[in-house]
Chain A
Amino acid sequence: MTQTEIEQYVKAAAAALELPLAPAHLPGVLVDFGRLAAIAAQVNAFDLGPEDEPGPRWEP
C-alpha cells in the first residue's frame, strides 16, 4: 500500500467502524497501520490451498 492508500483506507475503515480518529492520534495511527500493512503483505503473499483451513477449536 502507498502512503496515500494507507491514509485513505485508515480514514474510511475508521468511519465504517465508527472509530473516531482525533487529529492528535492520526499521525501515529498511520505510522502503525503502515507497519502492520508491511508485515501483513509478507503473509498475504504466501500461496495457500483450499485445504489450508483455520483451526479454531469450537465444541458446541
Chain B
Amino acid sequence: MAAFDSALEIAAAIRAGKLMATAAAEASLARIAAVDGKINAFTEVTRERALKEAAAIDARRARGEALPPLAGVPYAVKNLFDIEGVVTLAGSKINRDLPAAASDCYLIERMHAAGAVLVGALNMDEYAFGFTTENTHYGPTRNPHDLNCIAGGSSGGSAAAVAAGMVPLTLGTDTNGSIRVPSSLNGIFGLKPTYGRLSRVGTYPFVHSLDHVGPFARSAADLVATYDALQGHDAADPAQANKPVEMVSAQLSAGVAGLRIAVAGGYFKQHASPDALEVVALAARALGVQTEVLLPEAARARGAAFVITATEGSQLHLADLRKRPDDFDPLIRDRFMANALTPAAWYLQAQRFRRWFHAEVMKVFAHTDIILAAATPISATPIGANTFDLNGAQVPSRPSMGLLTQPISFIGLPVVTVPIFRAGKMPLGLQIIAAPWREADAMRVAAELERSGLAKSLMPSLT
C-alpha cells in the first residue's frame, strides 16, 4: 500500500485478495512512525486495536464473507471522539483526569460496521476553540506542505494526517469552520454536512447549537463513501434531524447539469485575499459560472456566530474556569473567561438573528442551488503568528481564519471543501455550499471540479 492510495483502492485490493487488511494497517502504522515526528498530528496510536480489527477483516475474507465498503481501510479521529479504552482529551490537559471512554462513539461504531480500521486519535485546538491547532499542551500540528506553517483547526490533526498520507480518511468536527479551514490549508477534501444530519453522540461538545461532525479525505469518492458509511439515525442525539439516510456515492457521476451555481459576492469577496479570490475564479471558470449572489448581512451573521460560540462554549467550562484556570491552554484561557461574562441579551439577540438570516438565505436558494466561496481568507500562516494581512488590514490570525466559514455554519448549511493547488503556492480550499439537506448537490460539484483537474490533493515532500 502506497502512502497516497485512496480508501476505495485499498478496500478494493483487500476485497480482491491483493492486499491483506493487516498489511494495510501495518503500512499506515509504519507511515505514522516515519513522518508524524515532523507533523505531530497524532496524540494516540491505537496499534493493538488496529491490528485486531484488521485481522478480523482478513478472517472474514478467508471465510468467504462479503466485505463491507471500507473493509480494511485505516482511519483516525479527532481526539474529542470517544474511543473505547482511551481518554477523550478534546485537546485539553483537564480531561486527562477523566476516565477512559467506556465505549466507542456512534460514528466510530458506524465506521467499524463499514469495516474501517481505527489507527489513532488526532491533535486539535483545546476544546475545539481555535482555527490553528497550536495546542500548548500537545504541541502544534504542522502543515505537511510547509512544516513552518499551521495546519489550521480546530481539526488540524485530522487534516494533516490525511494530507501527509498517514491515513486516507479521518473524522473531525466543525462548529465555525473546523473541518473547512484545515481542509483548505492542508489541500484535502472535507465535508461538513447539514446541522443535524450526523449523530454527535460520544463526541466532546464545543457549542451545542452549532456543532457538526464530518469526514476528511483526498478524493471526492473517498469523502462520499465515508459520509455514506456514517449516516444512520441515533435516537440518543437530541439535535439529529429525523431525515432518511440518503446515499450519495451513486450520484457522484451525475455531473452538474441542472444545478444553478453562483459565486458569493459582497462580504465573501471583501474578506478574501487576492489568492483566495483567484481560487474562486478558477472554480467559476471551470464550471462556467458567471452569476454572483449576495447573502444579506453576512458580517452580522459571522458576529452572531461569534457571540453564540462565546456564550455556549465558555458556559460549558465555567466550573473549571473557576477552579483551575491555569490548566487551560494560555492561548485561549483569557478568551474563555471573557466569553463566560457574555450578557444573556447579546446571546438571545444572536439566536434570534439566526432565524432572520436563515429565512433570508433560503430566499437565495429559491433561485440558486450552489454557492461558491473561498474557505479561508488566505493560505496557511506561520506557526506563532498573531496577525495576518488581509487586504491591507492586520487582523488577529486565530479567529480570522474562520471569517468565510462562520456565516455558513451559523445556519447549518452543508459544505464540501475541495483543495486547489496553484504552482508555487500553498493550497487554498473552495467552499461548495448547498441548501439544507442537499449534500448530494455539493458533492456532485466537487466531483465535477475533480474531473476537470482543478480540485485535487497533492503529495507533500515533507521537507
Interface residues of A (CB under 8 A from B): 9-10, 13-14, 17-22, 25, 28-33, 35-36, 39-40, 42-44, 46, 48, 52-59
Contact = CB atoms under 8 A, between A and B. Distances in A.
16 contacts: A17-B318, A22-B325, A25-B325, A25-B334, A36-B307, A36-B339, A40-B307, A40-B346, A40-B349, A40-B350, A43-B307, A46-B297, A54-B351, A54-B355, A55-B354, A57-B196
Contacts of A31: 334, 338
B341 A52 contact: no
Interface of B: 196, 209, 238-239, 297, 299-300, 303-304, 306-307, 310, 318, 321-322, 325, 333-335, 337-343, 345-346, 348-356, 358, 396
Nearest to B310: A36
Contacts of B339: 32, 36
Nearest to A34: B338
A13 to B, nearest CB: 4
Nearest to A38: B303
Contact of B303 (A14, A19, A43): A43
Contact of B352 (A10, A14, A52): A52
B353 A42 contact: no
A43 B310 CA distance: 14
B337 A29 contact: yes
A40 B303 contact: yes
Given A56-B209, A57-B239, A28 B341 contact: no
A19 B334 CA distance: 12
Given A19-B318, A19-B340, A25-B337, A39 B307 contact: yes
A56 B355 CA distance: 10
A29 B339 CA distance: 9
Contacts of A52: 352-353, 355-356
Contacts of B300: 42-43, 46
Contacts of B353: 43, 46, 48, 52
A5 to B, nearest CB: 12
